[in-house]
Structures are given as structure tokens and as C-alpha cells.
């Protein structure tokens, strides 16, 4: 199944990264955001990144310009009706995603595949909202999409073999390594990663080691490319807290209980890199 024209919904961090790699893989990309200024900023940021790569010799100038030309902003969601596939990357709120999937179910071509970049929400719920359960799938890219090689591919109960095969092939065509994972809270990577970050915060809060040393030990002793506390600062401490709370609730286990220090820092507005202060200062 050739997925030549692909719409991306949500022009934030992830939507723009996904739109960029699709355009670089010679797809025609339609980019939509509920906020038109976010869409325009996103398109400009992608063009800047591609031109910068060309200026640094990391990309042929012609390839950079071709990718920029392949990207088109759309100001009505109904324009997704010309796409063979839609990738949704709106914020991680179930009700918002359900509303978007209900609209996509009505506006996209009947044959179009609807993929979500959710970090761990229930793909079955999105499939039910779209009313085309065989065509809905999770396609979880990692941040930043242009450089992170993994894509978790999440089949809902009724996702068809054809949809799964088309999305696996697309991910490979983007130069990624797709790995199939069951539809369960947080899928595999975040389910493993966030309890580790939480434990690092407990280790800090209990005075076992200083923040710098926790990260130094995990990079030198466990070969992690970035320490867990620096990673939490990068993700955002508010996002980290939301993820742990959703695991605690959905997986019904105290092992995901967020460390009280994390709650205190979020309450104080220390959210990591985006506020200039988290476990480290920026």
C-alpha cells in the first residue's frame, strides 16, 4: 500500500519532527494545527532545520529544498480527506484525542489509516472513536523524531494485518526500527523508563546520592547516554508526574506512585529545562 500523501495533526514538538521525516522520505505532507500560528511556526522551524543541515553539509541542498516543498500547511481539518494516512500528534489528553479521532473517522478517506503518536493511551479507545477499528494503530515516535531510531507500533484489538504491514513498512522506509508492542498503558519503553526516573528521584530525596552523582553513576555504571534526572528535566517534570500518575491509576499498582519530591517540584513550578530549573539549572 503506497502512502504517498500523509497528514499530520498537531504541529508541536512531535508533529513537526514527524512531518519533517515524512517530507524527507518524499511523502507529500499536510500539516494541521488547531492553532494556525503554531502551524506556521512549525513549518518555519522545519524549514530552518533542513536548511541548516544543508548549510552544514549534512544534507544535499536539493534534498533539503525538496523536503520543504513537500510540506504544506492546511487550515481546515477537512483537508485530510485527500490523504492516504493521518498521524495524530495532539497533546496527551484522552478526551482531546477521542474528539480528534471521531472527526478523523468522518473526514478522512474510508481507506485511510489513522495512526496516533500517543505515548501510552488506549489505542482501542481511539479506534472506537474513529469507527474504523481495522485502520487505527499506534505509531509511537520518540523525541526528537528525526534522530531517534525506534518507533513502537501498537496494534489495537481490531487493527488489520494490512494496516499493520503498511505502517511497519512506512516506519522502515523512514529509516526507523519499528517494534511491535501490545496495547497496554505506556507500551514498553515508557513503562520501563518512568519507574526508573521515579526511583532516581527517590534516591535523591532519601539522600543516597547527589543529583549530579546519580546521573554520573547511571551514565558510567549503566551505560545510559543521559542520566535519569537530566532526562526528567528534558521531558518536563509535569509531564513525568502525569505519566507516573496515569500508570499508577491504570496499572493499579503502588510501584508507580510518584515520589513526593517530584510533586513538590512541580507545585513550585520547577518543571525542568522549559522553566530553567529542575534537578539541574539551565
Q: For ligand NAD, which residue of 20, 24, 27, 33 counts as binding (CB under 6 A)?
A: 33
How many of the other CB atoms lie within 10 Å of CB of 261? 16
Toward ligand NAD, which CB reaches closer, 12 or 66?
12
* Residue 197, preceding peptide bond in cis (omega within 30° of 0): no
Query: In sequence order, what are the beta bridge partners of 86?
Result: 7, 114
Task: List Cα–Cα distances, 215 to 112, 193, 222, 231, 232, in angstroms.
Answer: 44, 14, 10, 9, 11
Q: Binding string, 226-255, against ligand NAD, x = CB under 6 A? A: ---------x--------------------
CA–CA separation, 140 and 185 (whole Å): 13
Q: Which of 25, 38, 47, 261 binds ligand NAD (CB under 6 A)?
A: 38
Return the bridge partners of 137, or none. 115, 155
Nearer to ligand NAD, 74 or 203 (CB): 74
Q: Which three cell numbers mark 235?
A: 521531558
In the complex, minimum distance from the CB of residue 124 to ligand NAD, in angstroms, rounded to a whole number = 16
Exactly one of 3, 6, 8, 9 binds ligand NAD (CB under 6 A); which one? 9
Number of neighbours of residue 175 by Cβ within 10 angstroms: 11
Q: Which is nearer to ligand NAD, 187 or 279 (CB)?
A: 187
- Catalogue the active-site residues: 119, 140, 152, 190
Cα–Cα nearest to 139, from 129, 130, 150:
150
Only segment of 66-74, 92-100, 200-208, 261-269 that touches ligand NAD (CB under 6 A): 92-100
Query: Binding to ligand NAD by residue 10, rule CB under 6 A?
Result: yes
How much helix, strand and coil, in percent to the nearest 5, is found in the chain?
Answer: 55, 15, 30
Site for ligand NAD in 93-132 (CB under 6 A): 96, 100, 117-119
Which of residues 104 and 113 has its CB atom nearest to ligand NAD in the complex?
104
Would you count residue 92 as binding ligand NAD (CB under 6 A)?
yes
Q: Residue numbers of the site for ligand NAD (CB under 6 A)?
A: 9-15, 32-35, 38, 89-92, 96, 100, 117-119, 141-143, 235
Amino acid at each position: 500500500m503506497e502512502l504517498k500523501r500523509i497528514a499530520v495533526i498537531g504541529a508541536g514538538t512531535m508533529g513537526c519532527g514527524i512531518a519533517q521525516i515524512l517530507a524527507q522520505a518524499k511523502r507529500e505532507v499536510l500539516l494541521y494545527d488547531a492553532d494556525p500560528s503554531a502551524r506556521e511556526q512549525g513549518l518555519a522551524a522545519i524549514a530552518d532545520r533542513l536548511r541548516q543541515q544543508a548549510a552544514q553539509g549534512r544534507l544535499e541542498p536539493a534534498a533539503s529544498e525538496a523536503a520543504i516543498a513537500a510540506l504544506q500547511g492546511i487550515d481546515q481539518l477537512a483537508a485530510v480527506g485527500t490523504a492516504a494516512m493521518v498521524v495524530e500528534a495532539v497533546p496527551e489528553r484522552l478526551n482531546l484525542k477521542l474528539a480528534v479521532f471521531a472527526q478523523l473517522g468522518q473526514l478522512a478517506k474510508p481507506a485511510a489509516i489513522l495512526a496516533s503518536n500517543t505515548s501510552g493511551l488506549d489505542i482501542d479507545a481511539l479506534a472506537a472513536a474513529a469507527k474504523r477499528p481495522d485502520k487505527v494503530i499506534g505509531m509511537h515516535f520518540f523525541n526528537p523524531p528525526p534522530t531517534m531510531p525506534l518507533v513502537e507500533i501498537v496494534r489495537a484489538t481490531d487493527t488489520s494485518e494490512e494496516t499493520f504491514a503498511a505502517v511497519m513498512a512506512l516506519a522502515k522506509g523512514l529509516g526507523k526500527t519499528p517494534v511491535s508492542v501490545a496495547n497496554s498503558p505506556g507500551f514498553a519503553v515508557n513503562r520501563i523508563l518512568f519507574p526508573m526516573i521515579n526511583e532516581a528521584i527517590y534516591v535523591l530525596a532519601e539522600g543516597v546520592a547527589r543529583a549530579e552523582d546519580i546521573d554520573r553513576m547511571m551514565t558510567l555504571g549503566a551505560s545510559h547516554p543521559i542520566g535519569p534526572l537530566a532526562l526528567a528535566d528534558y521531558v518536563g517534570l509535569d509531564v513525568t508526574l502525569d505519566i507516573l500518575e496515569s500508570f499508577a491509576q491504570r496499572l493499579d499498582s503502588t510501584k508507580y506512585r510518584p515520589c513526593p519530591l517530584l510533586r513538590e517540584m512541580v507545585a513550585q513550578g520547577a518543571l525542568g529545562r522549559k522553566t530553567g530549573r529542575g534537578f539541574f539549572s539551565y
